[in-house]
Chains A and B, each alone.
Chain A
Amino acid sequence: MYLKDNVTITTAYIDDATYSEDEKYFINLEYYSNAYSNGIECFGARWDYYTDTSIPDKKEDGSYGDKYTYSSGVQFKNGYTYSKYADTNNWNYSYSAFKMNDCTFYNTSNGVSFDATNSLEDMNHWVYDIDGQLCLIEEKGNINEYKTLWVDRGTKYDTSMLLCDLYDVVKSLPDGEQVITIDLSRYYNVFLFDGKEFDKGTPATTENWVFVNVYIYKTSNGLVSAKQSMFKSYMGNPEWSLYGTASENYWQANVEYNLTLKDFTFTYENGGYYLKLQTSCIDYLKEFKNMRLLVNLDIDKIYLGADKLNIEGFSSNAFGGLKIDTINLTSDSPCTFKVFDKKLNIQHSDNITLEYLEVA
């Protein structure tokens, strides 16, 4: 793997990527290793780029914008084979790339929806941006120097070699988001833009322009749904799912919330002490919609203060206008519980007698 000298692998938090000279990642990788055996293995690589025929206008701050115009990528399915071997009859090394029939290519020009295709767009027009310096890549090497199984798809051997090397690195990384820096000049010629055209006479070699950051997301989970992938698709199928994504309609979904004794306070009225919800609780719950409020009270455990005064029941405005779905009252001994609101849905144990009072 041709990594930046003296730097093997850098791990960084994407939000704090101050090391990065180019915030737009030219190469993005994702790898679902399926180490947890809960899905399928999937490895994908995506290039984001301009083309030499569609360079955006330079902005006042000297940049070309925060996003690239195009994206192209390749996704390999579970069970692909990959190996490197040396041709002992020839001092040249040969790389065996990923199986052709186990991959799908993707292209997009809107960055949102990817179209599955049979090949990558022509790489020899791809342009990346480092701090306002545009760089055009050109595949180098020739078919006699490197042999790959990609030959029937065109001479994408440099990309094949790059993917093999990147896959080697990704397999060794821990889970999460990471960034590594690679030397592109091993795989591509890089030509610099001088403001008018790309100088194709001399490839750039300084690390300022040929060392690019590669964004990597790796997880030990397997892929279970197409929407997990950065292409929002799996093998060209955006609806793919290992466990199915069928949905079943419903009318309303309410989140249950249990109110217990700690949510109540007391008030003195009608010659006795009555329960009511605390104002802070009412104000808190009023902020939420589609709630199913439940009340569960053990009357035997409700008494007031050191004198253990009894609570008579619910006060006349016990719930502050909140809609309570069900109140569940329990008691081990016979008792009477007073309620002002007859519309409350109260379930109670047999030895509790409800007494309904009129509001004065």
Chain B
Amino acid sequence: MFDKFYSTIISVAIIVMIGLGIVAMIRSKNGKPYLMFVFGLVWFFVGLFNVFTGVNYYTTYSKVYGTLEQHDPYEDFNYFEYDLKDIAWYVDNNNYYYQTSYATSMEFDGTENEYTLLLNNKPCETSSTFGKLRGVQQIYFNDVDGTYKNTIGLDVNITFYASSISLKINTDATHESINLLNEYIKVNGFKLRIIDKVYSSFPLLSDSAG
């Protein structure tokens, strides 16, 4: 507020000084030619400015110089990806799960390195040790009126053997809520991504276990 008042005072002062200068020139005998010269100069530059503006306006055109690419914040980091959009859930005592294995290998050391597990490009709460990686994610569903509908938890467990990778995904979805998860997968797909990077947190505060 004080800044606005200050700039207003300055603007008024400048206008007053210009006005006083013009009055002085009009009253002075030899001032009128100088005044006419100043006015002529001002009109000349105003006219020139308008000509340039008009030319710019009517001759401007757009041109494509390149394309925007979706930024992948993890593109520079090693990652392993599983596309499970056709996932089919198995059932054990009203609990749904999925399991499979891959005849491939990946360098993994959960003790020396840190990893992030993303599910549909959203982070899981990830933990790892030796040859095991675990990621937990809760999906919170809202209905069209904004009210809470349900929450489904996903527990991803990946085991890295020398020549194969074992994957098991447990959910706490039941017969009643699995339909929500099916719709979620239909809309969003189901893509697992393991990246060799973790966002670091700095325990600056004491007892930072939280």
Question: Chain A: residues with CB nearer than 8 A to chain B?
Answer: 11, 13-15, 36, 38-39, 175-178, 219, 221-222, 224-225, 227-228, 241, 243, 245-258, 260-266, 278, 280-281, 284, 287-288, 290-292, 296-298, 301-305, 308, 311
- B180 contacts which chain A residues (CB < 8 A)? 247-248, 250
A265 x B88 contact (CB < 8 A):
no
- 14 additional contacts (CB under 8 A) given A221-B90, A250-B141: A38-B91, A38-B92, A39-B90, A177-B102, A251-B142, A252-B142, A253-B184, A261-B205, A261-B210, A262-B208, A280-B201, A301-B209, A301-B210, A311-B205
Complex: A125 Cα to B96 Cα, angstroms: 45
B141 x A253 contact (CB < 8 A):
yes
Interface secondary structure of A, over-half rule: mixed
Interface residues of B in 79-119 (CB under 8 A from A): 86, 88-92, 96, 99-105, 119
A247 x B182 contact (CB < 8 A):
yes
B123 x A175 contact (CB < 8 A):
no
- A224 contacts which chain B residues (CB < 8 A)? 88-90
Chain B contributes a number of interface residues (CB within 8 A of A) equal to 54
- B144 contacts which chain A residues (CB < 8 A)? 250-251
A291 x B207 contact (CB < 8 A):
no
Complex: A245 Cα to B186 Cα, angstroms: 10
Q: How far is the CB of B84 from chain A (nearest CB, A)?
A: 11
A297 x B103 contact (CB < 8 A):
no
Which partner residue on chain A sits nearest B201 by CB separation?
Answer: A262
- A263 contacts which chain B residues (CB < 8 A)? 201
List 6 A-B pairs, Cβ < 8 Å. Answer: A243-B91, A254-B140, A258-B125, A260-B209, A290-B122, A303-B205
Complex: A245 Cα to B88 Cα, angstroms: 9
Which partner residue on chain A sits nearest B204 by CB separation?
Answer: A265
Q: How far is the CB of A224 from chain B (nearest CB, A)?
A: 5
A245 x B139 contact (CB < 8 A):
no
- A36 contacts which chain B residues (CB < 8 A)? 90
> Is B121 in the interface zone, CB < 8 Å from A?
yes
Which 4 pairs, one residue from A and one from B, show the smallest C-beta to C-beta distance?
A260-B210, A225-B88, A261-B210, A176-B103
A228-B86 in contact given A176-B102, A249-B183 (Cβ < 8 Å): yes
Q: How far is the CB of B182 from chain A (nearest CB, A)?
A: 4
B202 x A278 contact (CB < 8 A):
yes
Complex: A297 Cα to B210 Cα, angstroms: 6
B122 x A176 contact (CB < 8 A):
no
Complex: A71 Cα to B10 Cα, angstroms: 83
Complex: A162 Cα to B68 Cα, angstroms: 53
Which partner residue on chain A sits nearest B142 by CB separation?
Answer: A252
> Is B3 in the interface zone, CB < 8 Å from A?
no
Interface flags, B124-135, vs A, CB<8A=1, else 0: 010000000000
- A257 contacts which chain B residues (CB < 8 A)? 123
A262-B203 in contact given A255-B140, A296-B210 (Cβ < 8 Å): yes
- B209 contacts which chain A residues (CB < 8 A)? 260-262, 301
A251 x B146 contact (CB < 8 A):
yes
A253 x B139 contact (CB < 8 A):
yes
Complex: A284 Cα to B123 Cα, angstroms: 10
- A250 contacts which chain B residues (CB < 8 A)? 141-144, 149, 180, 183-184
> Is B59 in the interface zone, CB < 8 Å from A?
no
Complex: A176 Cα to B200 Cα, angstroms: 36
Which partner residue on chain B sits nearest A245 by CB separation?
Answer: B182
B103 x A14 contact (CB < 8 A):
yes
> Is B137 in the interface zone, CB < 8 Å from A?
yes
Which partner residue on chain A sits nearest B164 by CB separation?
Answer: A176
